[in-house]
């Protein structure tokens, strides 16, 4: 990670005694490694907030901050059993976010694997830092379309509650394919806007980006921050902070960790295996 310059993941991991991991799984459904669909999942195994410490009440639930990574692993297990004729790449940047004398601090400027620099405003906006390197690494490994999943923002819970997963994208045709797949899987999603005005909110006077734009449009600005690292690669962002952990059983999920979006990821893999990605 140091050799590759994964400054986002390494910075978040600084406060923890546990070393970070970059989990990579390749499913080769075809002989040639091309037309690769990538799933990138946030694997934040515990989120204290770091130096920008979260309130103590409810912090025990922050073991669920690896919900995006868990969903990717679940989807890959199902894909391995179903064996669709498509190439799938899974990338999961994984670490804790802890406060310590070595921890990342508000005001720090870090350099990601992409070369883009980030001014750290809030160390509790850490998921987008590790996803930055996860997405860049997925592209390095051949990803031609990317879906990232993350328990990214509390703002999405305010906006959509525990009913629907928020979506931001840079490619409407890709989103249309995913929307059909999610509907067939029985999972509810809702697209949020990606207007240029929102992108202005994450610009920094000290770096290429800042990792927090404040309360306004928090789910949108966080998603667009992540999308900056996808660049021109077709990309879909799924904010599952409201849907990854549920308070009661439903027809699709048990109470607690829901496994949300596993079905939709499997469904879009099956769809592209049948119809192709281009």
Q: Which residues belong to the active site? A: 54, 128
Structure tokens at 256: 């607690």
Structure tokens at 154: 């509390």
d(CA 177, CA 172): 9
50: left (phi over 0), alpha (psi -120 to 50) or beta: left
Q: Are strands 165-169 and 235-239 parallel, antiparallel or unpaired?
A: antiparallel
CA-based nearest residue to 191, from 204, 178, 200: 178
Angle at alpha carbon of residue 152, lines to 132 and 211, rounded to 5°: 50
Q: Which residue has the tokens 């295996």?
A: 273
């Amino acid at each position: 990670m140091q050799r590759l310059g994964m400054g986002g993941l390494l910075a978040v991991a600084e406060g923890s005694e546990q070393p970070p991991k970059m989990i990579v799984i390749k499913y080769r459904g075809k002989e040639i490694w091309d037309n690769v669909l990538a799933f990138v999942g946030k694997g934040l195994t515990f989120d204290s907030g770091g130096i920008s410490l979260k309130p103590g009440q409810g912090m025990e639930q922050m073991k669920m901050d690896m919900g995006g990574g868990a969903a990717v692993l679940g989807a890959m297990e199902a894909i391995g059993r179903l064996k669709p004729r498509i190439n799938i790449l899974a990338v999961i940047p994984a670490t804790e976010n802890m406060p310590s004398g070595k921890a990342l601090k508000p005001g720090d400027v870090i350099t990601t694997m992409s070369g883009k620099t980030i001014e750290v405003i809030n160390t509790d906006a850490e998921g987008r830092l590790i996803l930055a390197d996860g997405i860049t690494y997925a592209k390095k490994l051949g990803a031609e379309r990317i879906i990232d999943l993350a328990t990214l923002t509390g703002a999405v819970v305010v906006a959509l509650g525990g009913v629907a997963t928020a979506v931001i994208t840079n490619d409407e045709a890709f989103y249309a394919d995913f929307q059909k797949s999610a509907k067939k899987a029985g999972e509810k999603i809702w697209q949020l806007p990606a207007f240029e005005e929102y992108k202005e909110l994450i610009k920094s006077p000290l770096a290429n980006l800042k990792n927090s734009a404040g309360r306004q449009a928090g789910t949108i600005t966080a998603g667009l921050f992540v999308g900056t690292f996808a660049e021109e690669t077709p990309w879909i962002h799924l904010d599952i902070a409201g849907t990854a952990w549920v308070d009661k059983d439903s027809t699709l999920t048990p109470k607690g960790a829901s496994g949300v979006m596993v079905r939709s990821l499997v469904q879009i893999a099956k769809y592209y295996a049948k119809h192709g990605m281009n």
